[in-house]
A and B are shown apart, each in its own frame.
Chain A
């Protein structure tokens, strides 16, 4: 059942992986060299980008998973207005194109004529205009917020679908046994959701590591490399500096990290077979 798919994918993957590895060991004249990898590890921007990537991933993933779970749970509690709330909350941010979301958030974060600051000041949550993108720390926060907004729908939708698949009797039985809401959540919802939770977590992490349009459009990786992640750096190397070999080397290094993360997850997942 899986064999044809796997064979094709392995073939394609093998080919692309090979070309990427080969490229990373060549210099622009086509000679074999370790220079690309050496220059990465000597590069202070590389280390900065790794740190930023960690912050970016942890912040975004925590936010997205939490918000997604909260929304899914809330949606389960109401009876009317399902379609309305789902359509507004779970799809609008996700359906906004990256390029549009990027320029729009950048415009909203503007402290001279941006809507966000205007509203915050008008409703009194802030006394002065917040320079969202003006320092490396603030910029990272701003970008993470925008990313949570854009990406939580995926978690929300999958959690909702997952919760829907849990048999209703489990809850009814527990209620009869006297379990309160929290007990029901902790002892039924969470374990039942575990496969979906694990998968969503893994994907959100991998996807966030490799996602760059929002950051690039909003800050370009700045200020002063404050929001430069490994992927924005790869993008800049490939498409702006045209240093393909170094970019290939960097993506291979990234791949190893992501591979490790994925492997740890999938080892756990492989043991799971339906009860």
Chain B
């Protein structure tokens, strides 16, 4: 009799257990974060009694896996999606569960930085819950400033100052450079150009995302200055081969003084060169007409194919709750939360580098949250590369790029 009871109980447990294992896929995260993730997830499991299986993935490969699974109608219960255009792309294909209702009724919603919502919105419906974010700034090496006779606490604020400082620092014979220009065939190049475009008062697309808007005098000025830094003034290592991450490594080696970076850069540059702690900082990126930055980050999305959508939302809101974020900051000191209350209350608020980030963030623009963004980004990358390779003049390149972008957007 006891045996029967035991087996019944076991079966019941197994059935309950089976039905309630949530899977969450986390992409792009550096592998060192796995311990913290496991801790946080355990907290959720204990509080809600739901089993969770966590899987970490690299970046490019994560996208392949997620896209394949979603396309075949199968996916995890909860997944991370890049704010640089993935959410609208997936939503358009009908792969995501709309979260408008849940978001409207959630306590944390007013705390999310307002400029983030457009990145997870498609057709006026929100499909994702932004989890972490960041924006792009000027990362610079104080030691190299000092060596060139520049004040390490006064980073350049305008384009003219940027050029001046970079030229002072650059010594091509010794292979030491002032500013790293990203020119690879990756998203970094688009982001680099956008930093200069918006700083010149230009725009990538019109406000309703229906036409290209960068083929203007401002856009041209930005393109010229961006590429001239490398071509004409020689203050950058060969840009075609390198992007921000490479420059950050060179900065750790004290060979490149300035480059675009953000909060993610801090732990990485410190692990590449522990001696650089305190000898580098960030500042608002030098601008021409107005301060500019581009935001990025990741959001949590729930695939339509998930059978556990309610529990997935519970996990999503748990991960984005005030307490969990505060714990995360305590352990890891980053990345930047999407909640304003956490930003203000945590120890980050006391760090001068983070103060710069928080001040800049409201100015940050998002990349156009439309499904065709990847194709548009490619056009920008090609445009920059063509100019860097001297295959086209900036005028020609920008005209062709704008034309192609309009074609992509279906403009007649």
Question: Which residues of A come within 8 Å of B, CB atoms?
Answer: 99, 110-113, 129, 131-136, 219-225, 236, 239-242, 244
Contact = CB atoms under 8 A, between A and B. Distances in A.
A112 B237 contact: yes
B285 interface: no
A135 B255 CA distance: 23
13 contacts: A111-B238, A111-B241, A112-B255, A136-B389, A222-B184, A223-B183, A224-B185, A224-B382, A224-B391, A239-B63, A241-B374, A242-B67, A242-B93
B238 A134 contact: yes
Given A222-B184, A240-B374, A134 B385 contact: no
Given A134-B238, A135-B240, A222-B184, 11 more contacts: A220-B184, A222-B381, A223-B388, A224-B185, A224-B382, A224-B385, A224-B391, A239-B63, A239-B64, A241-B372, A241-B375
Contacts of B102: none
A220 B237 contact: no
Interface in B224-258: 237-238, 240-242, 246, 249-250, 253, 255
A132 B388 CA distance: 16
Contacts of B385: 222-224
A67 B381 CA distance: 37
B167 interface: no
B143 interface: no
Interface in B41-89: 61, 63-64, 67, 71, 89
A202 to B, nearest CB: 29
A224 B93 CA distance: 29
Contact of A223 (B63, B67, B185, B249): B185
Interface in B363-412: 371-372, 374-375, 378, 381-382, 385-386, 388-389, 391
Task: Name the interface size band of chain B.
Answer: 20 to 34
Nearest to B373: A241
A112 B250 CA distance: 8
A224 B241 contact: no
Most buried by A among B61, B89, B185: B185
Contacts, number: 67
Most buried by A among B93, B183, B240, B250: B240
A219 B250 CA distance: 20
B154 interface: no
A263 to B, nearest CB: 31
B238 A131 contact: yes
Contact of B241 (A131, A136, A242, A244): A131
Given A112-B175, A241-B374, A135 B389 contact: yes
Contacts of B185: 219-224
B186 interface: yes
A133 B241 contact: yes
Contacts of A220: 184-186
B184 A110 contact: no
Contacts of A113: 249-250, 253
B67 to A, nearest CB: 6
A73 B282 CA distance: 59
A239 B62 CA distance: 11
For the complex of A and B, list the 9 residue pairs with the smallest distance between their C-beta atoms, beginning with the closest: A222-B185, A220-B185, A224-B385, A134-B240, A134-B238, A223-B240, A133-B241, A240-B374, A131-B238
Contacts of B386: 224
B389 A223 contact: yes
A225 B389 CA distance: 12
